[in-house]
Amino acid sequence: MMVRVAYPNIFDELIEEFFTPALDVTPTVYPAIDILENDAATVVVAEVPGVKKEDVSLKYENNVLTISGERKPYEIPQDARILLNEMRVRKFTRSIEIPHDVDAEKITAEMNNGVLRVTLPKAEVARTRTIEIK
């Protein structure tokens, strides 16, 4: 089974990479994802640390799941002096094509410890089934 993942703004990233120091640990494709699968569902896991539940939106259309959101800046005292700033991602959006039909009504999502988990149950036609020999 193939999974297609969109890499948005490749060109912007190349420019950004050119100007950022080599030791930068900020990921260039954001958020980082894993795609897991079993007989019943496909699960998309995305790392979104520091993002509140209410600042994330999910859209599922034409077999494409789009995760978008915003990481709001944290409170920082006025007199603070910034010594290191690697957390640069603010707004993000990423689309993932799901390689099977999905029971769209039953898509669920949860957020825990900065990780978003979207469960996309396979539509009845896409499920693995055992065929009985008559």
Partner 1 sequence: MTALVPYTPTALTRYEMNERVVPPVTDIYETADSFVVKLDLPGATKESIKLQVEPRKLVVQSSITADESMNLLYSEIGRKRYYREFNIGDGINVEGIHASFEDGVLTITLPKTDEMKAREIKIQ
Sheet (strand 56-61) strand order:
4-5, 91-97, 64-70, 56-61
> Minimum Å distance from CB 114 to partner 1?
2
Cα–Cα dist 118/72, whole Å: 22
> Per rule CB under 8 A, is residue 5 in the interface with partner 1?
yes
> Per rule CB under 8 A, is residue 52 in the interface with partner 1?
yes
> By C-alpha distance, which of 107, 101, 8 is closest to 58?
107
State CA 109 to chain mean position distance. 11
Q: Map residue 1 onto helix, strand or coil.
A: coil
> Per rule CB under 8 A, is residue 22 in the interface with partner 1?
no
> Per rule CB under 8 A, is residue 67 in the interface with partner 1?
no
Among 6, 10, 14, 26, binds partner 1 (CB under 8 A): 26
> Minimum Å distance from CB 104 to partner 1?
19
Q: Map residue 124 onto helix, strand or coil.
A: helix
* Region near partner 1 per CB under 8 A, out of 13-21, 61-69, 77-85, 123-131: 77-85
> Per rule CB under 8 A, is residue 6 in the interface with partner 1?
no
